[in-house]
Chain A
Amino acid sequence: MTRTDVIVIGGGIHGCCTALHLARRGLKPIVLEKNTVGRHASGVNAGGVRQLMRHTAEIPLSMAAMDAWERLDALLGPELAANCNFVGGVGQIGIAESAQELAWCRERVAEMRALGYDFEELIDADELKRLVPSVADICRGGIVSRRDGHANPFRTTQSFRLRAEQLGARILERTRVTGLEQGDGGWTVTTDRGTFGADIVVNCGGAWAWQAGAMVGEHFPKSHFASTLMVTSRMPHFIDPVVIGIDRVLSFKQTEAGTVVIGGGILGDPDLDAETAETVSDRMMESAATVYEFFPILRQATIVRTWAGLEALMPDVIPVIGPSRVASGLWHAFGFSGHGFQLGPIVGSVIADLIVDGVSPLPIAAFSPTRFTAEGKLRPPAQ
């Protein structure tokens, strides 16, 4: 048996980042990854670094994450930071086409102001056109978060992994957790490649995280989904910000390579057991149509690839971050419901603080596992 202080289950961005921060705090984490690092949602998401239009409970985390994104050098060192291809400050824009969408933007900005957040701004058609000259005239304005941007998700996850390894963490790929048991001497984690012992276990299992919970009798929703992305061949540079729809199915950005990555939460067909997902052309129509309706320049674009990554989905679309409700020394960080990438640099730091200091400076009560019943159902909101 290999003994260490902390075992992290799952080599996605949050697992790698957790290992990185634990190693910074002097621990010797081992990450157990059933496939390869960043194989699923962490490596193949749209790469949006977005504070815009988030669930209000996530905003303090998201703001702290944004600070970390802007100081990736400090976290990763200059070479690995550059590897992430992070482009900040270009903004993410929610585009309003209808009067209802614009009205929603206005209410949203007012709600944010009331909560003390001023990073979301209402913009009119002129400012939209200034930020995105290629936008069609049918768009009336929208909502912008100017610090936002994008990064390369696979390279970012790899960079976190490499930094964690530099700091002394061990990342074991193709190592599948098959059992999790707590005894007098701490946790025993069984895998298909040996047994590991640790005082603490962190569950960053993504779409499969509920399985680790079930091993200790702690139940979570098993729901998961596969978000689809389409990518075009290289095009001349025409847009800097990331744009998303308000009510319309739309999300796209142009990468540094010139390709345009188009998403918007289009559903693929997930297969949790086969650990893969297929993309479905029938469901891509709407997004394709919206993209070129809003951006006529894309009428000439050609789709060369599509892909989909598996991700956990919580019924309230916010993550699970916090201590286990059935066992001591077990922590959860999963269920990011398709928008966890931007939180990548911060969740691991929260978990490390909780493990080492017993408390996090960031508010995470909304993400507590206690919001689920013993059977894993979401409790109705308290009145």
Chain B
Amino acid sequence: MTHLQRESCELAIVGGGPAGLAAATLAAELGVETVLFDEQSAPGGQVYRNVEANAPRHDALAAILGGDYAGGLALVRAFRASGAAYEPESAVWQVAASGKVGVSRGGRAYLTRAQRVVLATGAMERPVPVPGWTLPGVMGAGAVQTLMKASGIVPDRPVVLAGCGPLLYLVAVQLVRANAPLVAVVDTSAATLAGTVRAALPLLPAFAGDLAKGLSWIATLKARRIPIHKGSRLVVEGTGRVEAVTFDSGGRRVRIATSLLLLHEGVIPNNQVTTSLRCKHVWNVAQAAWRPETDPFGATSSARVAVAGDGAGIGGARAAVHRGRLAALDAAFRLGRIGRDERDARARPERTALAREARLRAFLDRVYRPAEAVRPLDDDTLACRCEEVSAGELRGLIAEGFTDLNQLKSFSRCGMGQCQGRMCAGTVGRILAEGLATDMAAVGHYRLRIPVKPLPLAELAELGHADRNDKPVLEVADGDPSQRI
């Protein structure tokens, strides 16, 4: 099937999660010609994946996924009714500073010229490079949740969840509801229960609902007699695949046999596109992650490009909706649909709501600070799993005088593999920062260029809407092939 290849649009939105959906809905309502590009086949993003199909079902899966998930349906319906164009199954592999968006759909790639771009590319799970983390049978908790939402698949063999953060407990509860054989939860957060309660008190009564939900998750696990361990210094054991996880707990070493280990220490912004655009980024100490620097509307240092939602710093699904609307208001203003006063007036309630969400986020950031994911790696542990580069090899290069992340990449191939450095950028940066006794802000990020998603050569060869007047090579010396560059 050949899909329409749009030549241009006023506003391109990348990503169909809460931020992208909210941005597209409002922008379209304000009269902006809006196209939303998303890799999935239905709107919802990671958090509301497949919600149109799953939420109306009154079956076991709906019950497993819970009420918050079903709440995403209203967002999707508003988007469907908004008049924004929707391009599903479309991977965006380029956003150029000029506004040229590279899209791949149905085995064909093309370029769309957008006057403005809102990136709503969301978050990815933070890699947790503990010893043995690359063994088969170790996955991210989010990956398992994706399987549940997309196809109702639930693990049927013993599973251990280890890490920290709200999603860890949500997935634990979803697994329990689905009758998956959950053996144990290993909580790696440094916070004590008493400390957590103390930190939570100022959030009452405003966030009573959220806190009650968190407590109910723990109560559900207790009722099902799922052991919850406090654990640190995780090691994944196994020959050829995971057999057990061991960790320090209460002054002793605990070993739990399992055939599936789900690691999760929160999520980090998915910032490949803003990095490829060389947007200014800042190291977010509280979230131990890079985020693009933005103004209150999400505008980045790249003139045509804004970021909304978790891609601009983790804020959660509710905040993403407000951030999406702010980006839409600013787009409508820049494209001449509304005036500055209207933009600012309509932004006020969104910003008030965001400020409220920020209080909860600050609490979550404090309590669920990553621990295992930021511990110095053992020399033997792989920092880059695609190219199999160990922490020890990188330390050797740093000892030899390498002072730059991109030098490490060029020499060792770390970050050059199929994931394009998504998985190891933070880890390798941390190893370099440790080696140079400096901080992450000083070592920076890998230099990235297009394509931000792997692109088949055959698609590039037949790129739609490319500028054919743009000479590909220099013409020198009367075309004599021996005087080539």
Contacts and interface: CB of A to CB of B under 8 A. Distances in A.
B is a partner of A: yes
Interface of A: 36-39, 43-44, 53-56, 94, 104, 108, 154-155, 158, 162, 173-174, 225, 227, 230-233, 246-247, 249, 257, 259, 262, 264-267, 276, 278-289, 291-292, 298-308, 313, 315-317, 337-339
The 9 lowest CB-CB distance pairs between A and B, nearest first, are: A338-B485, A289-B461, A154-B410, A288-B461, A283-B472, A282-B466, A288-B460, A301-B457, A282-B467
Interface stretch (B327-335, B423-431, B447-455): B447-455
Contacts of B404: 36
Given A233-B454, A282-B463, A305-B451, 6 more contacts: A246-B481, A281-B111, A283-B472, A292-B461, A299-B458, A317-B484
B473 interface: yes
A287 B472 CA distance: 8
Nearest to B276: A278
Interface stretch (B115-123, B412-420, B434-442): B412-420
Q: Which of B454, B472, B474 has most chain A Cβ within 10 Å?
A: B472
A140 to B, nearest CB: 15
B456 A306 contact: no
Q: Which of B97, B460, B476 has most chain A Cβ within 10 Å?
A: B460
Contact of A302 (B454, B481, B484): B454
A316 B455 CA distance: 36
Contact of A108 (B456, B470, B482): B482
Contacts of A279: 449-450
A292 B102 CA distance: 21
B474 A225 contact: yes
Contacts of A155: 410-411
Contact of A303 (B413, B457, B462, B477): B457
B403 interface: yes
A257 B413 contact: yes
B485 A249 contact: no
B472 A302 contact: no
A360 B470 CA distance: 43
B472 A284 contact: yes
Contacts of B403: 36, 173-174
A44 B449 CA distance: 13
Given A158-B411, A282-B466, A303 B481 contact: no
A285 B461 contact: yes
Q: Which of A276, A278, A287 has most chain B Cβ within 10 Å?
A: A278
Contacts of B458: 288, 292, 299
29 contacts: A36-B403, A38-B407, A39-B406, A44-B410, A53-B482, A53-B484, A108-B481, A173-B403, A174-B403, A281-B94, A282-B463, A285-B461, A285-B466, A286-B472, A288-B458, A289-B461, A292-B461, A298-B457, A299-B457, A301-B457, A302-B456, A303-B455, A304-B420, A305-B451, A307-B449, A313-B474, A317-B477, A317-B484, A339-B485
A285 B463 contact: yes
Contacts of B476: 315, 317
Contacts of B420: 304-305
B418 A304 contact: yes
B460 to A, nearest CB: 4
Contacts of A284: 460, 463, 472
A278 B94 CA distance: 12
Given A36-B404, A265-B473, A302-B455, A281 B460 contact: yes
B483 interface: yes
B484 to A, nearest CB: 7
A287 B463 CA distance: 12
B470 A288 contact: no
B477 A36 contact: no
A301 B456 contact: yes
Nearest to B481: A246
Contacts of B481: 53, 94, 104, 108, 246-247
A205 B81 CA distance: 59
B471 interface: yes
Given A53-B484, A267-B471, A281 B463 contact: yes
Nearest to A94: B481
Interface string B379-418: 0000000000000000000001001101100110100111
A54 B483 CA distance: 7
Nearest to B277: A278
A249 B472 contact: yes
Interface string B87-101: 000000010110010
